[in-house]
Amino acid sequence: MKHVLTVLLCVLVTSVADAKSNLSIGSFEILDKEWFVVSLSQSSPDNFAQPRVGTLFEMKALADDISPRRFRQLWQDALAVNESADIWHKYSRDFDLFFQVVQAPLIKGDHLVLEQGEDSVVVSVNHYEHARLSAGFLGMVLQTLTARIAPIPELKQGLLAQLPEAEQKRLSSEFSNGEVSLQRIGETARWLRFPKSTVSQL
């Protein structure tokens, strides 16, 4: 019972923080399908290369049955446009850890977060930490998604807070709709029994 109350408190605190810090929002759309609504709690694109500590890059699934393979492919497609072989090599361990976070199909409402820390980027799924990546990973992702030739133009516009107001409101509503159930939190927490979360040493 104490554990359930703790999780509920965490959910409430996170929801309040979200309401205050979601400064830009966009759609992760590939092949004419919206897979995630994405929120970024950073006010200025000037620091995308080096996000401030505490910056949150949040994804809420809009589609059901996003398999681990599909999750990997979506991100590979999104990042491959602008990233050189050197970047893929430099962050190869991070990519492996990031992709391994999803151990079973994601369902609508699942909440994934990359949070910038002092020495690492923390990856959480439905309020539980699942992995730690090297400190430069989030900056690399943000630079890629907002590059001059952006892999997902709609997402770039969202991250730069350039979407029309009506679209921002629609996506904000999608992001705020519902909260992941305690049952689902328990299901994704069990993914931690698979390959142990570790910290990349870049």
The CATH fold of domain 2-193: Chalcone isomerase (3.50.70)
Tokens of 99: 């992709």
According to the model, what pLDDT value does residue 78 have?
87
Query: At 188, which amino acid appears?
Result: T
Q: Taking residues 124-130, what's their average pLDDT?
A: 97
Q: Burial level of 55, CB count in 10 A (0-12/13-18/19+)?
A: buried
- Please give the full DSSP string across 99-126, using - where no structure is assigned: HHT--S-B-TT-EEEEEE-SSEEEEEET
Question: pTM of the predicted model, to two decimals?
Answer: 0.83
Using alpha carbons, select from 83, 84, 79, 119 the residue that is nearest to residue 99.
79
Render pLDDT for 30-74 as a digit per residue (tens, 0 to 9).
Answer: 988 999 999 999 756 667 888 999 999 999 999 999 999 999 999
Determine the Cα–Cα distance for residues 182 and 169; give it in Å rounded to an integer: 27
Domain positions in the chain are 2-193
Q: Burial level of 133, CB count in 10 A (0-12/13-18/19+)?
A: buried
Compute CA distances 152 → 78, 149, 180, 192, whole Å.
Answer: 7, 9, 26, 31
